[in-house]
Structure formats: structure tokens, C-alpha cells
Homo-oligomer: A and B are copies of this chain.
């Protein structure tokens, strides 16, 4: 599959908002439900929202009212320290949910920026909470989404705390490829939607180091890189970089 197809957001504005006929449903709402419950859950998706590339879906400090499920497009979330440093905390793609960090203080604590034109489902959180008191499957799903995010961040902490530059980048590329593959794209060919600087912020390295590390992977024949086009030539070698001490 052409990696370019990643960006082909379907334009379905006229079709009824419905999880039941959404091709992302099994990713963002994998709940086994009766038809009646399904209809009720669709009420949660109160609206859709388009976000054009470069715009923010929400910003740090804004009142938290809803979670956002990505239908199409690609986002980064970033978290700022009081003195203005920025840490990209994640990259989100179709089927993934953003805004979970806003629950605790009733306002968002990070920024979500679209890295390509995107469309999201706006899911009113009070509504989710109400409904999940009645639909056990939805309740479980909410718990799991939150827990999954904790688990994901544990992985990032491990990466940031104990990996070298090359391992970090290898881990990052494999993770992206795996998630794209789960969405029906090639697992060896990908288009990076973010700049080197954003990759660097996420991986805790400077832009020059990101660039040099890419160049090293290319030299070693592990990947082909053309700016944001990446082709993984030797996935095994990439995986080997991921756990260098496992012998």
C-alpha cells in the first residue's frame, strides 16, 4: 500500500455521525454491545470537528469537557514546563483518544496540535461518565483507555531513562510502523508527519542528533530515508537495536 494513502482523509461530512459505520470503531470503541446500547453510545459522539494542519484541538489551561477520538489525521500532544520548555508527550493517529490528562483538574494540561488536517469525534465526558454507569462494557473501556495511556507512558519513561539515541529512534520507528500496520498500512514504509525537532522533543534528543542518527541507520543499510519518507529495509536489525543487551 502506498504510504501516501495515509493522508487520504475520507470526506464524509454528510453521512450520519455513527460509530456503527465508522471504520475506526474497532480501534477506538472496541466494545461488544447490543444494538440498543450501540445507539446510545453514538449519542456520546455529540459532534465532529475538523482541525487543519498546524491548528490546536485544545490547549493547556482550557476547560476540559470532552475526549477526542481521531477519525482521520495525525496529532502531537505536548506538555510545557513553567519556564517554557516543551516536551512532546506523544503522537496520535486515527482511532486513538486524546484529552485523558484533562480529567483530573477539569482542564487540559497539554496542547494537542494537528500535524495534518484531521477530523475528530468530540465525546462529551459527562455523557461518557453517565452512560458508563449503565453500560458496563463502556465503563470497562474507559478504564482501559486510561490505563493504556499509563502503560504507554511507562514505556516512554523507559525509553527516555535508559536508552541511547540509536535505540530511541529504532524504538520510535518500530512503534510507528506497528501502529500504522494495525491500520492497514505498510509496516515497512511510512511517512513521518512530524518534524525532526518534534521527534527530538519526544525522544529527548536534539534535532542534530536525530538527524545524525537517521543518517547512521541509513549508512548501516537498515532504513532508507528521504526527508519524511522512511522505508524500513531490515526490521530485524532495527529490532536488534532495540534491546542491545539481550545478546
Query: For the complex formed by this chain, how many copies does it contain in all?
Result: 2
Q: Is A110 an interface residue, CB under 8 A from the partner?
A: yes
A89-B157, A103-B146 provided; 10 other pairs, C-beta below 8 A? A79-B157, A79-B158, A100-B146, A103-B147, A133-B133, A146-B147, A153-B154, A153-B156, A161-B202, A161-B204
**Chain A binding surface, main DSSP class:** helix
Instruction: Name the B residues within 8 Å of A103 (CB-CB).
Output: 143-144, 146-147
Closest to A129 in B: B139
Interchain CB contact under 8 A, A83 and B162: no
Closest to A150 in B: B101
- Complex CA distance for A101 and B85, rounded to whole angstroms: 28
- Tell me the A residues contacting B by CB distance below 8 Å: 79, 81-87, 89, 100-105, 109-110, 129, 132-134, 136, 139-140, 142-144, 146-151, 153-158, 160-162, 201-204, 243-246
- Complex CA distance for A133 and B142, rounded to whole angstroms: 13
Interchain CB contact under 8 A, A110 and B79: no
